[in-house]
A and B are shown apart, each in its own frame.
Chain A
């Protein structure tokens, strides 16, 4: 059983550019969520996907968008990058369980630096 994998692990972009981050869910998990973690802060929920549909979103602008694919892998896209977008972006997958929420399994994260 493979864990959650994210790519790339590190990347540097300049202000105004666009970035795509990728996440492969743990086997058997149909729900994936993305988080932004600034230095010294706890993760902030960006959005969640279940069966290829967004079904929850945090307080992030529309330039943060995502996709989930039939194999439950996912992408996070950020357009018009700003300096404050520099952060660790974490992906987590979990099984969607009846009557409650399954445990989150996190990837190692993608560290984005915007110059």
Chain B
């Protein structure tokens, strides 16, 4: 079993839908990072959190340390949100395999 599991692996939704991507981990962590990767490879940091909730624009990230689980939510999704979303945990740096999101216009 992978130490960091993401679900779903692939997600296709219509523009405007509310999106949830989940990340569960089995190791002790000091922080969790949500990343966005567009075709071509570049990775952009979305959130880094160690407790509670963070919001930036239409993106919201939550983490429950006791349950070892984090979620990334996208409200009012848009085709430009189409990308691979990856969660990563620290201090032993472990990445999930990513969730491929495709938003249809």
Contact = CB atoms under 8 A, between A and B. Distances in A.
Contacts of A108: 40-42
Most B CB contacts (10 A, CB to CB) among A37, A43, A103 go to: A43
State the majority secondary structure of interface residues on B. strand
B27 interface: no
Interface in B66-101: 86, 88, 90-98
B48 interface: yes
B104 interface: no
B30 A88 contact: no
Interface residues of A, number: 24
Chain B, interface residues (CB within 8 Å), range: 20 to 34
B97 A42 contact: yes
A109 B86 contact: no
A100 B98 contact: no
B69 to A, nearest CB: 17
B45 A42 contact: no
B90 A42 contact: no
A22 interface: no
A88 B84 CA distance: 15
Contacts of B91: 101
Interface of B: 4, 30-31, 33, 35, 40-45, 48, 50, 86, 88, 90-98
